[in-house]
Amino acid sequence: MISVVVCGAGGKMGQEVMRAVLQDEALQLVGAVDISRAGQCVSDIMNVSCDLVVQDNLETVIADVQPDVVVDFTTPQAVYQNACTVLKAGVFSVIGTTGLSAEEREELDALARQNGVAVLVAPNFSLGAVLMMQAAAQIARYLPETEIIELHHNHKYDAPSGTAKLTAEKINQARQQAPEPDRTQESIPGARGAKWEDVHIHSVRLPGYVAHQEILFGGSGEILTIRHDSLTRTSFMPGVLLACKHIQEKRGLVYGLEHFL
């Protein structure tokens, strides 16, 4: 069995990851880390049968239980240091927390290779979302004029989302011609959203949403729209479990779940 520690265990995503790991016969939950829930039993937090107690020190938990994989769903402020702690211990890492810069990813790649392990940084663990991004890259070859609208719950830490930024990167890499220059003058700054990799991104943050994204492609006399909706956080679990089971086959930093499909 593959032993797993969940960091950020008290959060909504962390709880879903623990539940999914507990239900998977190939995985074993051996540790839970969360500063805000330290000292509480996992069984009390989630109403499941589990005798683990949430701890507040990731380094100590790794030393005590020596896991195969640490899954991180914490905060942008904590994720880089957490990843360094995991990789320096020679443990594989699966990261769903957004906020890592390109420079930090390069540093984590070097650290992982130095310690003979791998770290997956995935902006989105939904299999449907990954397929959406792959489709967008194909479409952008022929319809380079595109904009992204991403919608998330109002407690999401960042805007735009990591998924939207990765989608924009894939679109820009796939384009065979540059988009037309912007001719619209904003009467209110920011009216056309942010721009990443020469793609406009519009972020919505409202109660009721989970994770949603539309990609609009405009052509001569036609519009093509693709959309993905995660209706519950369980939609991310097949991807998380897939990563936990196959991360040990990789070395260095892997960016995006598509490398596991």
Catalytic (active site) residue 155: no
For the sheet with 194-196, list strands across it. Answer: 194-196, 199-205, 145-152, 211-219, 222-230
Written as tens digits, the pLDDT of the chain (261 aa) is: 999 999 999 999 999 999 999 999 999 999 999 999 999 999 999 888 888 999 999 999 999 999 999 999 999 899 999 999 999 999 999 999 988 999 999 999 999 999 999 999 998 999 999 999 999 999 999 999 999 999 999 998 889 998 999 999 999 999 988 888 888 889 999 999 999 999 999 999 999 999 999 999 999 999 999 999 999 999 999 999 999 999 999 999 999 999 998
Give residues with Cβ within 8 angstroms of 21, minimum separation 6: 4, 6, 27, 28, 29, 71, 241, 244
Decide: helix, strand or coil at residue 116. Answer: coil
Domain boundaries, the chain: 2-121+234-260, 127-230
- Active-site residue, selected from the candidate residues 88, 153, 156, 245: 156
Q: For 127-230, CATH number? A: 3.30.360.10
2-121+234-260 and 127-230: identical CATH topology: no
> Among candidates 142, 144, 141, 197, which has minimal Cα distance to 166?
197
> Among candidates 167, 165, 160, 101, which has minimal Cα distance to 132?
167
Q: What predicted TM-score, i.e. pTM, was given to this entire model? A: 0.85
CB 149 within 8 A of CB 138: no
> Among candidates 240, 231, 251, 244, which has minimal Cα distance to 118?
251
- Active-site residue, selected from the candidate residues 152, 165, 212, 228: 152
Catalytic (active site) residue 156: yes
Q: Which two tokens stand for residue 141?
A: 């070859």
Decide: helix, strand or coil at residue 197. Answer: coil
Decide: helix, strand or coil at residue 66. Answer: coil
What CATH homologous superfamily does 2-121+234-260 map to?
Answer: NAD(P)-binding Rossmann-like Domain (3.40.50.720)
Tell me how far apart the alpha carbons of residues 206 and 156 are, in angstroms, rounded to a whole number.
10
